[in-house]
């Protein structure tokens, strides 16, 4: 009756639920030390607003995406009537293959989406250089990286636009929600005008999300998660429904609406505790990295120079798919916070079949086949963490 969440979300306090009147956007601007951001109903909505703004007045139709990322990123491109073009990853990494990216860019390239995956910061410099050479926009998908920085500035500001997610498990949450950034004042104005045109108030969605946020406040604890997360997970695993198990079962129906006043206030109050929470996660991650990197055959995704990511979980790359699957067979159902991030590379989702550009993406498929995640939640105790490490060591021992 105890379940560790697969990612370290910030729990809510009862005081968060009782306050109105906070200026969430202004508080986020102070937290980020960045121009005033824009609140949206989801990270996906933020991406759609950005793409709609970019495509106005442009004849370019292609958007280049990492071949391993959240399927909603591709669905947002399709929602806008644009063409997703998949770029393979670098070997053994989530970064884009920059040589492949340069070859894919051309006169039809509207934008390049670069993903700061799982709180880790992508290598932005080559992407920015390639985009500038071809006159393309750069969108930073920083869904899981609120609080991360690159070269001293918040991720999301190096490109033309960037967005964070406020969904469950992304750190700070309003159950669903998004934060949209842009460094250029004229573009920020355009983004707000686009949002006003396509995402108005919707009481039905706001009531639903508000009730779901209350449920999160009540159940986002190890005991409550056994019911809200653990039981549905094990049911999906028993039935072999892996996409359902990780929540990748998306559809084309993407809600577009404003975020209500009460949920904004909840987010603003919770934001007051976010810096200390991120510091706790960073300190714990630093300690636990020292243990994980000692396991022979295990590769741990870390930050490159000039980057300071967030640590909702660890991304662990095993030598091959059979070894990864053997580890998951012992750990995924254990309640110890071990999971998978996305089940497939984008071309292999049934609902995206025949809707994406046909490009070879062997490294993305390899990454999907060999990677698992380990929660960095403070609720995962030292003894439980060591239990996971021992199982990984035994699995990796020839």
CATH number for position 382: 3.90.1150.10
Q: Is residue 6 part of a domain?
A: no
CATH number where 70 lies = 3.40.640.10
CA angle 247, 251, 254 (to 5 degrees): 105
- Report, as ranges of residue numbers, the positions in the chain whose pLDDT lies below 70: none
Q: State the sign of the Cα–Cα–Cα–Cα dihedral 8, 210, 194, 62.
A: positive
Q: Which residues, 6+ apart, have CB-to-CB distance to 8 below 8 Å?
A: 171, 281, 311, 312, 313, 375, 376, 377, 378
* 130/186 Cα distance (integer angstroms): 23
Q: Is residue 121 part of a domain?
A: yes
Q: Is residue 240 part of a domain?
A: yes
Q: Is residue 150 part of a domain?
A: yes
* 167 and 233 together in one domain: no
According to DSSP, residue 18 is labeled G
* 39 and 157 together in one domain: yes
Query: Which pLDDT belongs to residue 213?
Result: 97
On whether the CB atoms of residues 213 and 263 are closer than 8 A, the answer is yes
* 150 and 237 together in one domain: no
* 124 and 169 together in one domain: yes
3-class SS of residue 326: helix
* 345/323 Cα distance (integer angstroms): 19
Residue 189's CB: how many other CB atoms inside 10 A?
12
* 352/345 Cα distance (integer angstroms): 10
On whether the CB atoms of residues 29 and 57 are closer than 8 A, the answer is no
3-class SS of residue 111: strand
Domain that holds residue 288: 224-248+270-396
* Two tokens, residue 51: 């793409």
* 64 and 98 together in one domain: yes
* 192 and 277 together in one domain: no
Query: Which pLDDT belongs to residue 124?
Result: 96
Closest CA to 170 of 31, 388, 341: 341
pLDDT tens digit string along 151-189? 999 999 999 999 999 999 889 999 999 999 999 999 999
Query: Which pLDDT belongs to residue 244?
Result: 96
* 79 and 190 together in one domain: yes
CA angle 221, 224, 275 (to 5 degrees): 20
Query: Which pLDDT belongs to residue 170?
Result: 86
Query: Which pLDDT belongs to residue 351?
Result: 96
Cα 268 versus chain centre, distance = 20
Query: Which pLDDT belongs to residue 19?
Result: 78
Q: Is residue 264 part of a domain?
A: no
Q: Is residue 265 part of a domain?
A: no
On whether the CB atoms of residues 373 and 309 are closer than 8 A, the answer is no
Burial class (CB in 10 A: 0-12, 13-18, 19+), 76: buried
* 108 and 242 together in one domain: no
* 167 and 235 together in one domain: no
Q: HSE-up of 289 (CA within 13 Å, CB side)?
A: 14
Q: Is residue 233 part of a domain?
A: yes
Phi/psi region, residue 151 (left: phi>0; alpha: psi -120 to 50; beta: rest), is: left
Paired sense of beta strands 137-141 and 161-165, if any:
parallel
Number of domains in the chain: 2
* 228 and 194 together in one domain: no
Prediction pTM value:
0.96
Q: Is residue 134 part of a domain?
A: yes
* 47 and 173 together in one domain: yes
* 134 and 238 together in one domain: no
Query: Which pLDDT belongs to residue 75?
Result: 98
């Amino acid at each position: 009756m105890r379940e560790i969440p697969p990612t370290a979300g910030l729990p809510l306090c009862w005081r968060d639920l009782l306050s109105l009147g906070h200026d969430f956007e202004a508080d986020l601007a102070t937290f980020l030390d960045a121009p005033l951001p824009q609140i949206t109903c989801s990270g996906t909505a933020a991406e759609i607003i950005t793409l709609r703004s970019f495509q106005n007045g442009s004849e370019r139709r292609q958007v280049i995406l990492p071949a391993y990322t959240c399927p909603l990123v591709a669905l947002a491109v399709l929602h806008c009537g644009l063409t997703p073009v998949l770029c393979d990853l670098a070997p053994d990494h989530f970064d884009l293959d920059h040589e492949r990216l340069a070859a894919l860019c051309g006169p039809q390239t509207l934008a390049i989406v670069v993903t700061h995956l799982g709180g880790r910061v992508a290598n932005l410099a080559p992407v920015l250089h390639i985009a500038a050479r071809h006159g393309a926009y750069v969108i930073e998908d920083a869904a899981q990286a609120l609080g991360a920085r690159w070269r001293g500035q918040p991720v999301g500001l190096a490109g033309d636009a960037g967005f964070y997610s406020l969904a469950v498990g992304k750190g700070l949450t309003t159950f669903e929600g998004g934060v949209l950034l842009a460094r250029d004042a004229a573009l920020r104005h355009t983004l707000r005008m686009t949002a006003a045109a396509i995402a108005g108030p919707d009481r039905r969605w706001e009531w639903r999300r508000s009730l779901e946020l209350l449920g999160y406040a009540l159940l986002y604890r190890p005991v409550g998660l056994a019911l809200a997360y653990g039981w549905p997970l094990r049911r999906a695993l028993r039935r072999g429904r892996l996409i359902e198990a990780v929540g990748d079962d998306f559809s084309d129906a993407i809600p577009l609406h404003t975020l209500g006043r009460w949920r904004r206030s909840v987010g603003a109050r919770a934001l007051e505790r976010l810096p200390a929470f991120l510091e706790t996660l960073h300190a714990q991650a630093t300690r636990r990295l020292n243990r994980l990197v000692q396991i022979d055959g295990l590769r741990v995704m870390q930050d490159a120079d000039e980057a300071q990511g967030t640590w909702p979980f660890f991304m662990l790359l095993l030598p091959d798919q059979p070894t990864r699957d053997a580890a998951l067979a012992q750990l995924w159902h254990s309640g110890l916070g071990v999971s998978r991030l996305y089940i497939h590379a984008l071309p292999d989702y049934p609902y995206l079949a025949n809707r994406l550009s046909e490009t070879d993406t062997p490294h993305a498929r390899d990454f999907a086949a060999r990677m698992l995640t380990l929660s960095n939640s403070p609720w995962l105790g030292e003894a439980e963490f060591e239990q996971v490490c021992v199982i990984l060591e035994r699995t990796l021992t020839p």
